[in-house]
Structure 1
Amino acid sequence: MTDGTTTTDGRGAGDGGCKDLRYYSFKDYLTEEEAAQFFTWSHAVQVDKVRSYLDFLAAQPRPPNFTSSSKASISYAMVDQSRLDGDAHERVDSQVLRTLTDGKTMSGFGAFGTDDGFLPQKELSMAVANVIEHIGHQYMVERNKKGEMRPPVLNSRSFFFYWCHAEKQKIMDIQQKLDDAGVSTNDRTKYWAAVVVHVDRDMCADCIEFATKYVIAERICMRVQDPSVLRVFGANGLTNKEDALEQ
């Protein structure tokens, strides 16, 4: 999803109609009063408003020329068999572990549906949004233009775009599967230690900070491998970086 999100009718809650039928941004969705007050709202209220915007888009017919971005990143998890040698293998349920590696995520909100072969983008992106306050993450708002600090603005790139990054979605997917399996807080460390989260583009600063805060809050160790480096996030945050392993 880009700053102007394609719809078919251009109608919205904010301006009573959008003349350019191809684009309908988050700011278009808000009333003038809401737009002026948005950054004074609590995080939970902001999340609810973004969710209602995505739900509105989802209710529209999918635009015929709408396609996922060619720059979208993809993330998935793989079992590190070396971590399952000996007694460690007996401490994890192989069926639960297998579910953690099922499914790939693709960056984007999936406002008009997720492409076949990928996990649901909107649900996982909003799961990211919902966990931000719990883990104490201050999500990035881009507003530095040519070295000049400017007020945050209401478009997806500068506000909530980072919620939809693929590796964040995959982290939430793993968390949800551990929740569904009823894995205890203490036992989760074993499952996280047994997998490596992969992403096919270098992690951005916001994703690194998100993972750092996540492992501290969840008291786990997590490894994320991008094309450049393998990062080890421990109980104290980012603890180590190594050259990327061969895929």
Structure 2
Amino acid sequence: MKSGLFQGGPEVPPFRQGNFSFAHEWLEQVGTLDALLARLDALRGADDAHRYLCTLDDIGQCSYTCGHAGQDDRLYLDTPEDEDWDDAAQMQAGALAMLQHRVRQLAQPGLVQSWGQVCGSLAVACDDVDALLAANCEPDRLLDEVIYVQRVPAALLPGDDALIAAAPNGYFSADWDTFQNHAIICHLAAHYGYRFFAMGAAWMGFERGTPPDVALAERLVQDLRELYGKGRNEVQGHAAWAQLASLLSSRRTLVLGYAENLAESLELEQDAE
């Protein structure tokens, strides 16, 4: 695995920071999701003053949609007209102010989404359920060639769920938006002990300290059936759900898609040719 810092390193970073205001480190040739999680664990273990969030699939698209999602009227904070875009200190202060604003907005009673409100709101077909199963069987296929790791001040975050404020996503009208994704993140943390650790262009990553037991995995998948299939009997009855429940009871990771055409994003259609 190759790595480097966006700030404070001896060399100019070979990659642009993009719309990741708290980008701390870039990683190449990560190889596996387990290797990425090990790197995040090492960063957390050495630094309890920050929380860490990484990218996942398609970093270029993720940066693009993150920038647009952050301009949502519910999340956007106007910057001073006299802000100097070449002044690093001003830019950092602006990023911190934006982060604090987004965290507050995510907790606003009039804006908060519930799990029940999100259920059934994404257009999902049976091949998208196949994509969920495939992504969890082989989560390494979601890793882009380059992964960014954001380092976010822990003092500004009430919990790991609020890390989405540093990478808001869900820009296209057919996707779950930032508030809907936040509802999912909170539900998985409260009911299943999953920590949010990655936001990609179409997929989110979660981890537990240990795999869920069989009963918990089955309950989780029942929730996921409702999340993705509410109102669609053919989706809720798809055979892949049972396979997913069996799989998750042996894994401590979970990846969930939040965009339309999950099968296309995973290139399942190409694999079938």
Greater share of helix:
2
Higher relative contact order (CA 8 A, sep 6+): 2
User: Greater CA radius of gyration, 1 or 2?
Assistant: 1
**Do they superpose with TM above 0.5?**
no
TM-score (norm 1): 0.29
